[in-house]
Amino acid sequence: MTPASERPLTAMIDPAAGPPDCAAYGRAGGWQATRLALGSLAPAEIIDMVTRSKLRGRGGAGFGTGQKWSFVPKEPASERRKYLIANADEMEPGTFKDRWLLEGNPLQLVEGMILAAYGVQAGHGIVFLRGEYQEACARLHRAIGEARQQGWLGENILGSGFSFDIHIHSSAGRYICGEETALLTALEGRRATPRSKPPFPQTGGLWGAPSVVNNVETLCNLPHIIANGPEWFTGLGLGDDGGTKIYGVSGRVTKPGAWELPIGTPLRQIIEDHAGGMRPGYQLRALLPGGASTAFIDATALDVAMDYGSVEKAGSRLGTGMAIILDDRTCPIGMIRNLEHFFAQESCGWCTPCRDGLPWVERLLDAIEDGTGRDEDMDQLDRHARMLGAPGRTFCAHAPGAMAPLASGLKLFAADFAAHIQQGRCPHQAGAGAGAGP
């Protein structure tokens, strides 16, 4: 096991003991960064440290965090209404990392939010939490209440003149709310359709005010970057990126789970050493490296380092860093059909190509999987993958994300598609494949 100092995000997480309270959090090294920042660092210095740490967004898009913050107007929080929002909507299928951080150590998120808010001088904090995360909600409520009582939140924190408080918004289940502009629309009590940019949230976000939206894992890194310095943080990564990353594996592996590892850890090591390799009787066929909206890579690419640049070179995206494994006894077309059902259902319906295109894709896949597919269907799928997959053809990144597993799957599993159409049935259904149980 990696020593605790090299696993900053999860070092304090102990499921048996439950999340630390304010005092225990402080004893284990928490609040140092807040004391340092509010006591002796200027907001611009915080942004500079985070930029130098090379921290990139852990919500999927991988945008540089310091750079993202640099677009926020610089007035002090007391002079202008600004928002700092934690994106805890985590609905990307196959992803369960933010829940671990939220339930395991909610005060770490609170402290990360204080630091981010101080950096961009936002007085208002919101946790946008997915509705199903009831346990996380309860623990976060307790953590925020206690932090407020102890003076870590509220007016004039530590006598610094900086005031900041956090409010929890418990959502009601829609994947698109995780997209940052749709999230803002949802917070305004409207149907959560994405917004056009510009204005970017940093200048015109919630209720028109400058707003920063960051993923939970991104924010949880901040106390460690500020307390230990950006050089320490960059040193944790194995390649070009800084820090650790929470990686996860689900599917038919021996020990599905999530682990905090140096960013850039090879995929093979994650699957074989941490997830224990495949279950007896199953072979790894391909996988989605970072959640449902990333492209398949096959078993020959397992040596890829799990950092932003390397996974992109391998033809996919790091995404959320949570891999979903396709084994040799599960039908790849069945899996893609399941994914496209999700994306079609979760389309917000705002723009026509996505609203009408995704259900069309789903129906084509239904037909092929059920044995009534025709050769022409492949052309239709290919056309959709190209048209919806290109950025800019749809209003937001939902449709391109939906096409990533389809476009890659059409290439990787061409023989399986052909077999379904030729045989008029799913070749896997005869055996113990396709969702037939562990």
Partner 1 sequence: MWTAEYPLPAPMRAEILALAAQELHPRGASVAALRLVQARFGWVSTVHLREVADLLGISADDLDGVATYFNLLFRRPVGRHVIMLCDSVSCWIMGREPLCAHLCGKLDIRPGETTADNAITLLPTVCIGHCDHAPAMLIDDTLHGDVTTASLDQLIDTLRNTP
Interface ranges with ligand FMN (CB under 6 A): 57-61, 63, 68, 87, 89-92, 175-176, 178-180, 213-215, 218, 396-398, 401
Q: What is the DSSP secondary structure assignment for residue 178, as one 8-state letter?
A: G
DSSP string, 72-100: S----TTTS--EEEEEE---STT--HHHH
174 is an interface residue for partner 1 by CB under 8 A: yes
348 is an interface residue for ligand SF4 by CB under 6 A: yes
Residue 63 binds which one of ligand FMN, partner 1, ligand SF4, none, with CB within 5 to 8 A depending on kind?
ligand FMN
What span, in angstroms and rounded, lies between the C-alpha atoms of 67 and 78? 23
**At its nearest, how many Å lie between ligand FES and the CB of residue 292?**
9
Nearer to ligand SF4, 350 or 417 (CB): 350
Nearer to ligand FMN, 55 or 304 (CB): 55
**At its nearest, how many Å lie between partner 1 and the CB of residue 174?**
6
Residue 92 binds which one of ligand SF4, partner 1, ligand FES, none, with CB within 5 to 8 A depending on kind?
partner 1
Task: Please classify residue 51 by burial: count the beta carbons closer than 10 Å to its beta carbon, then call 0-12 exposed, 13-18 middle and 19+ buried.
Answer: middle
Nearer to partner 1, 112 or 251 (CB): 251
60 is an interface residue for ligand FES by CB under 6 A: no
Residue 423: how many other CB atoms lie within 10 Å: 10
Nearer to ligand FES, 94 or 125 (CB): 94
Residue 193: how many other CB atoms lie within 10 Å: 17
**At its nearest, how many Å lie between partner 1 and the CB of residue 278?**
12
Residue 345 binds which one of partner 1, ligand FES, ligand SF4, none, with CB within 5 to 8 A depending on kind?
partner 1
Q: By beta-carbon distance, which residue lies closest to ligand FES? A: 93
Which of 130-138, 304-312, 321-329, 345-353 is the region at the interface with ligand SF4 (rule: CB under 6 A)? 345-353
Q: Which of residues 91-150 bind ligand FES (CB under 6 A)?
A: 93-94
Q: Which of residues 313-332 bind partner 1 (CB under 8 A)?
A: 322, 324-327, 330
Nearer to ligand FMN, 8 or 60 (CB): 60
176 is an interface residue for ligand SF4 by CB under 6 A: yes
**At its nearest, how many Å lie between ligand SF4 and the CB of residue 353?**
7
Residue 88 in tokens: 């805890």
Task: Please classify residue 78 by burial: count the beta carbons closer than 10 Å to its beta carbon, then call 0-12 exposed, 13-18 middle and 19+ buried.
Answer: exposed
Amino acid 99 reads R
What span, in angstroms and rounded, lies between the C-alpha atoms of 258 and 106? 18
248 is an interface residue for ligand FES by CB under 6 A: no
The arrangement of strands across the sheet holding 211-215 comes to 165-170, 124-129, 83-88, 211-215
What span, in angstroms and rounded, lies between the C-alpha atoms of 380 and 383? 5
261 is an interface residue for partner 1 by CB under 8 A: no
Provide the terminal-to-terminal Cα distance of the chain, rounded to the nearest Å.
28
Nearer to ligand FES, 94 or 205 (CB): 94
| Contact yes or no for 282/330 (Cβ under 8 A) | no
405 is an interface residue for ligand FES by CB under 6 A: no
User: E strands within 171-266?
Assistant: 211-215, 244-250, 257-262
